[in-house]
Chains A and B, each alone.
Chain A
Amino acid sequence: MALAEEVAEQLLDSILDGVIPATESLPAEAELAASFGVSRLTVREAVRILRTQGIVHIQRGRGTAVNPPEKWTSLDAIVRASAGRMGRGGHVSERLLEARRMIEVGAAQLAAVRRSADDLVALEENVDGMRIAAKEQRVDDFVFHDIAFHDVIMRASGNLFVPVLFSTFGRLLIETRRQTSAVPAIQWNAIEHHVAIADAMRSGDEQRASVTMEAHMDQTQRDLRHHVMGEASHV
């Protein structure tokens, strides 16, 4: 990888880790050059790369500012590029999954208590939808029912603000899902976990809902690392 690309990737890593918060400015060119041990020209090129991806923008007189993720035009591409290697795409997917986990587990706990009979039916229907799509290898349908399953739980949480939390990165989640959903082994894993979650919802047991959702998130993370990013499995 060219040097400038490497620097760009490391800068993005800092941003993903929240070291450089969104809407703040990158350190000055000279400072970055010094800390990466590269020329200012290389730094300028790295920043240009990030600019073309909508990750940063130049503010006249105020340096280079980080954009909020909604403006990262090629984040989809970055996420897609993670296939086969643990690179910048992988990092994004991991961080996304982490944030997603927080909300999904919380929502599942609330939904276990507040869910309606209609919600339970909807959960079953989507699991069936996933099974059929998996048998017929229709990835788009699979993704659709997978997302719909989680949406039912979000709504069943009985808290409007919970699905709103997802609007921060809902679009990005679709992309990461598409990656994992294309792999048959992952599809069947997911179906199994969804069945367990639906059972927990039916039981009305908060603790069980939390445990089954955590397990699903764990599985998704393992699948992402193993199947998509090509890390050796240590299961």
Chain B
Amino acid sequence: MTMAEDIAEDILRAIIEGTMVPGDSLPPEADLAEKFGASRMTIREAIRILRTQNVVHINRGRGTEVNRVEVWTSLDAIMRVSAGNSGSTAFVADRLLEARRMIEVGAVQLAAERRTEADLERLAECIAAMQDAAERDDIDAVVEADIRFHDVILHASGNLFVPLLFDSFGPLLVQIRRKTSSIPAVRERALHHHEAILAALTAADQSEARTAMERHLLPEEGENPATAKA
């Protein structure tokens, strides 16, 4: 990885970890050069990398500003900011998954209380579809059934704002779902987890539903979406 890529990754990490937030300006070039012990040209290159991913933009008069997450380009591109160093790109996927977990665990708890018979039927149907697709080795269909399962739960929460939380990130969250879903180890266990979630929802057991969803969305060894093939 080049030095510019290294620096771009450091800056991205600071943004993902919330040290710098959308609307903030990056420190001036000269300051960054000193901080990273690099030439101003290298800094400029690092910023150019971040600009191609639409993570930052040049604001005439105010320097380089961090963009809102909704306009960042694809997740793959963000992760490619430090291509070749999958260990450290994991934190982007990690943080996204964390945010996703927050929403989905909350949603399933509400759904345990508010779900209708129709919701339960739809969920069972998604599980069957996922099973069928897995047997046929149709990965796209597996991913689709997986995402549908989760969408039914978001809507079964009986709260307009819950599904909308997913929209707040633009394409990133949809993409992380797709990526996670296509990891073989994840697919294998997903069916089992979905069944556990459905059982908890059928029993209207809020606490069990939460636990089942938490287990489902905790990443395990070797399950880093950064390394998954798109």
> Which residues of A are interface residues toward B (Cβ below 8 A)?
15-18, 21-22, 68-69, 95-96, 98-99, 101-103, 105-107, 110, 154-165, 167-169
Q: Is the CB of A161 within 8 A of B95?
A: yes
A-B contacts, 20 listed (Cβ < 8 Å): A17-B159, A18-B157, A18-B158, A21-B155, A69-B161, A69-B164, A95-B161, A98-B161, A102-B162, A102-B165, A156-B18, A159-B17, A160-B15, A161-B69, A164-B22, A164-B70, A164-B168, A165-B102, A165-B103, A169-B161
What is the bound-complex CA distance between A106 and B214, given in angstroms? 12
What is the bound-complex CA distance between A222 and B101, given in angstroms? 27
Q: Is the CB of A165 within 8 A of B168?
A: yes
Contact of A102 among B98, B103, B167 (CB under 8 A): B103
Contact of A99 among B69, B159, B167 (CB under 8 A): B159
Q: Is the CB of A106 within 8 A of B106?
A: yes
User: A107 to chain B: which residues have CB within 8 Å?
Assistant: 102
With contacts A68-B164, A96-B161 taken as known, whether A161 is within 8 angstroms of B96 at the C-beta atoms is: yes
What is the bound-complex CA distance between A138 and B116, given in angstroms? 46
Closest 6 CB pairs of A and B: A102-B106, A106-B102, A99-B161, A161-B99, A159-B95, A168-B168
What is the bound-complex CA distance between A169 and B167, given in angstroms? 12
User: B165 to chain A: which residues have CB within 8 Å?
Assistant: 99, 102-103, 165, 168
What is the bound-complex CA distance between A96 and B70, given in angstroms? 21
What is the bound-complex CA distance between A68 and B168, given in angstroms? 11
User: B159 to chain A: which residues have CB within 8 Å?
Assistant: 16-18, 95, 98-99
Apart from A18-B162, A98-B161, what 6 extra A-B contacts exist at CB < 8 Å? A22-B164, A96-B161, A102-B107, A103-B103, A103-B165, A107-B102
User: A102 to chain B: which residues have CB within 8 Å?
Assistant: 102-103, 105-107, 162, 165
Q: Does B163 contact A (CB under 8 A)?
A: yes
Q: Is the CB of B162 within 8 A of A159?
A: no
User: A96 to chain B: which residues have CB within 8 Å?
Assistant: 161
Name the residue on B nearest A99 (C-beta).
B161
Q: Is the CB of A18 within 8 A of B18?
A: no
Q: Is the CB of A17 within 8 A of B160?
A: yes
What is the bound-complex CA distance between A102 and B21, given in angstroms? 22
Q: Does B110 contact A (CB under 8 A)?
A: yes
User: B21 to chain A: which residues have CB within 8 Å?
Assistant: 155, 160, 163
How near does chain B come to A75, taking the closest CB pair, in angstroms? 11
Select the residue from A22, A155, A160 with max chain B CB neighbours within 10 A. A160
With contacts A18-B157, A102-B102 taken as known, whether A160 is within 8 angstroms of B164 at the C-beta atoms is: no
Q: Is the CB of B162 within 8 A of A99?
A: yes
Q: Does B141 contact A (CB under 8 A)?
A: no
What is the bound-complex CA distance between A101 and B109, given in angstroms? 12
Select the residue from B18, B95, B105, B106 with max chain A CB neighbours within 10 A. B18
Contact of A160 among B18, B158, B163 (CB under 8 A): B18
User: B17 to chain A: which residues have CB within 8 Å?
Assistant: 158-160
Select the residue from B17, B70, B99, B103 with max chain A CB neighbours within 10 A. B99
Q: Is the CB of B16 within 8 A of A159?
A: yes
What is the bound-complex CA distance between A105 and B102, given in angstroms? 9
User: B168 to chain A: which residues have CB within 8 Å?
Assistant: 164-165, 167-168
Name the residue on B nearest A110 (C-beta).
B98
Q: Is the CB of B18 within 8 A of A157?
A: yes
What is the bound-complex CA distance between A160 and B16, given in angstroms? 5
Q: Is the CB of B161 within 8 A of A160?
A: no
Contact of A168 among B69, B96, B167, B172 (CB under 8 A): B167
